[in-house]
Amino acid sequence: MKAENMDQPWWHPERHADRRGILLVRNRIQARLRGWLAEREFVEVDPSALAFSPGNEAHLHGFMTMAIGNDGMGRAMYLHTSPEFAMKKLLAAGERRIAAFAHVFRNRERGALHSPEFTMLEWYRVGEGYEVLMEDVVAFCRLAAEIGGGVLRFRDRVCDPFAEPERLSVAEAFQRYAGVDLLASIRADGEPVAEVLAAELARIGLRVAEDDTWSDMLSRVLGELVEPHLGVGRITILDQYPSAEAALARKHPGDARVAERFEVYACGVELANGFGELTNPDEQRRRFGLEMDEKARVYGERYPLDEDFLTALAIMPPASGIAMGFDRVVMLATGAGRIDDVIWAPVPG
């Protein structure tokens, strides 16, 4: 991007001409990924963006609106933060391989890697383990790099997606990059113990506030000490998240302290978040309740539960699912510095 064009609005002819090459690469990458999915008999679906609940994770923030009926009465609705609930209902309806390029909306998010509205590629495989999703993401990164610059790049970090990916657990990453024994702070049933993790952070000299929860401390170590090392040189698959940090994932069959959840990183940037999906509606309701209690504690608000989703979950077959930030993949494939550079018409402001 030419420096002299950076202060112009995105629609200015000179700035658009500067961005257009990247935007056309975006279209080519999207077409290639659609072809890959179609070849493997994925059905592309198009979930509605309006929902009764935007999602029930404590630190995700939705946009609320009011749906006015023919009777003039209003009902609060939200723009979804993910098409997950709708897509899982489709799995309950009988679909087995589905994918969606969905526009999703997240409030309180704006920056080089964040836009309030962005494109998420989400896909599900019924009856298949979550490890196959790891292979999917690596394949997508390679396809994008072939169309882009041959490597993935963000600022001064470079990742070769064609190299063998690195796979390590969150606990291994904490030990390697922070010297923290994460599993020592989790009981055998998966419940975290904040005092134990606080002692670990104090030992390595990392600040701990009086009101920090176990989750707050985990996020600080991950963001400050671990993430900058992930996906540098080659893709990193960060696997087996603690169960307390995986509200929508199954617990790992061999260790209840961790879950079938992973994230994929390149150049220190998170690209995708995948799960072996939880299908127990009672357990899901319990976890949503905990997430909303935390949202109320931190932000003073809570979102309604999608009762229709919880009902559908009871008949949803075993499946694995994943969400990938499509714009971020395009960013890294083209070397763009900001997410707005790869969005055709960015959100104003």
**Residue 166's pLDDT is what?**
98
Long-range Cβ pairs for the range 212-216 (8 Å, 24+): 213/294, 214/185, 214/244, 215/58, 215/244, 215/245, 215/294
Pairing assessment for the beta strands 236-239 and 251-252 based on DSSP bridges: unpaired
Which amino acid does the sequence have at 148?
Answer: G
Share above pLDDT 90 across residues of the chain, in percent, rounded to a whole number = 95
Half-sphere exposure of 93 (CA within 13 A, CB side): 11
Euclidean distance between CA atoms 234 and 168, whole angstroms: 13
Pairing assessment for the beta strands 74-79 and 157-159 based on DSSP bridges: unpaired
Euclidean distance between CA atoms 220 and 212, whole angstroms: 10
Q: What residues does 53 pair with on adjacent strands?
A: none
Give pLDDT < 50 ranges for the chain: none
**Residue 84's pLDDT is what?**
97
Q: Quick one: which of 104, 84, 95, 102 has its CA closest to 42?
A: 95
**Residue 3's pLDDT is what?**
58
Structure tokens at 58: 């404590």
φ, ψ at 168 (rounded to 5°): -145, 155
Q: Quick one: which of 228, 108, 258 has its CA closest to 159?
A: 228
Q: Quick one: which of 199, 182, 198 has its CA closest to 190?
A: 182
In the chain, the DSSP E strands lie at 43-44, 50-51, 63-68, 74-79, 97-105, 117-126, 152-154, 157-159, 166-169, 236-239, 251-252, 255-259, 261-266, 269-276, 319-325
Chain-centroid distance of CA 32 in Å reads 21
Which amino acid does the sequence have at 204?
Answer: I
Euclidean distance between CA atoms 155 and 158, whole angstroms: 8
**Residue 7's pLDDT is what?**
80
Ramachandran sector of residue 178 (left: φ over 0; alpha: ψ -120 to 50; beta: rest): alpha
**Residue 100's pLDDT is what?**
98
Give alpha helix (H) positions in 222-306. Answer: 281-299
Chain-centroid distance of CA 199 in Å reads 30
**Residue 2's pLDDT is what?**
63
